[in-house]
Homo-oligomer: A and B are copies of this chain.
Amino acid sequence: MPMHITSADNVRRLASATTALPADVTPTGPKAGILNVALRLFAEQGYAGASIRDIAQACGLKPASLYAHYASKEQLLAQLINIGHEEHFKMVQEAVIDAQPEPLEQLKAYVSGHVRFHAEFPMLATLVNHELHALSAEEVTTALKLREQSTDLLMHILKRGQALGAFAKDYDHWLAGAAIGAMGIRVANWYSEHHEKSIDEIIRTYQTFACRLVGQGE
């Protein structure tokens, strides 16, 4: 009969959380605090599991005060998911643009941005990957369009690598993209800033994995 939603630390959906939101997209003023708290609670307890009252209390506010800054609970989630998608695309795109044009270098660059996003913003990643279903059909369309940018970029790199003969051709490139994407997505579930390995070390290892996966030793 006791209803308890919270639980031990090792049961949470992610391992740590200091840098909650990317600095450049966080709003100013009281909106920032609300958004950060909502991010943490949505990620830890799920959208439906975190109430407006939970968020308000964690902000040191009363529930009604939130509505002066955000129109609804769903809009909070929508904004967070949009920020998450935009930040992910920004990170993989910038990495790929800065890379040499060889397919293998582009693949390594993508993995770098992809893994870094999930290690640095695990809570945003959790929302993007597990809470899309709580959004209305309208807001979901926006989110899916943003997500498509990132997956298209990876698929393009993989197809181009196969076409140029830089990667093996004995596999379906969509499956390879799914596998490489999955490796990085899962990082959000276990990486914490106290991990024995640094983000850069993890990235290097995962780059190696991705290169081998497409048939290139490197």
Binding site for B on A (CB under 8 A): 1, 3-5, 7-8, 10-13, 44-49, 72, 74, 130, 132-137, 140-141, 144, 170-172, 175-176, 178-179, 181-187, 190, 197, 202, 205-206, 208-209, 212-213, 215
The answer to whether B135 and A7 touch across the interface, beta carbons within 8 angstroms, is yes
The answer to whether B205 and A171 touch across the interface, beta carbons within 8 angstroms, is yes
Give the residues in chain B near A48, CB-CB below 8 Å: 5, 45-46, 48-49
Further pairs besides A1-B72, A45-B48, A179-B209: 11, Cβ < 8 Å? A7-B135, A11-B137, A11-B144, A12-B133, A48-B48, A49-B134, A175-B209, A178-B186, A178-B190, A179-B183, A181-B186
Say whether, besides A1-B72, A136-B4, A130 and B49 are in contact (CB < 8 Å).
Answer: no
* Secondary structure class of chain A's binding surface, majority of residues: helix
- In the bound assembly, the distance between CA atoms of A8 and B215 in angstroms comes to 35
Give the residues in chain B near A144, CB-CB below 8 Å: 7, 10-11
Interface CB pairs A-B, < 8 A, 17: A7-B133, A7-B134, A7-B135, A7-B136, A7-B137, A8-B137, A8-B140, A11-B144, A46-B48, A48-B49, A49-B49, A130-B130, A175-B202, A175-B209, A178-B187, A182-B184, A183-B183
Question: A3, A140, A178, A208 — which one has the most chain B CB atoms within 10 A of its CB?
Answer: A178
The answer to whether B205 and A172 touch across the interface, beta carbons within 8 angstroms, is yes
Q: In angstroms, how far is the closest chain B Cβ from the Cβ of A147?
A: 9
- In the bound assembly, the distance between CA atoms of A185 and B181 in angstroms comes to 11
The answer to whether A133 and B44 touch across the interface, beta carbons within 8 angstroms, is yes
Q: In angstroms, how far is the closest chain B Cβ from the Cβ of A133?
A: 5
Question: A1, A135, A182, A185 — which one has the most chain B CB atoms within 10 A of its CB?
Answer: A182
Q: In angstroms, how far is the closest chain B Cβ from the Cβ of A188?
A: 10
The answer to whether B205 and A175 touch across the interface, beta carbons within 8 angstroms, is yes
- In the bound assembly, the distance between CA atoms of A190 and B171 in angstroms comes to 18
- In the bound assembly, the distance between CA atoms of A144 and B208 in angstroms comes to 30
- In the bound assembly, the distance between CA atoms of A10 and B146 in angstroms comes to 13
Nearest chain B residue, comparing its CB with the CB of A182? B186
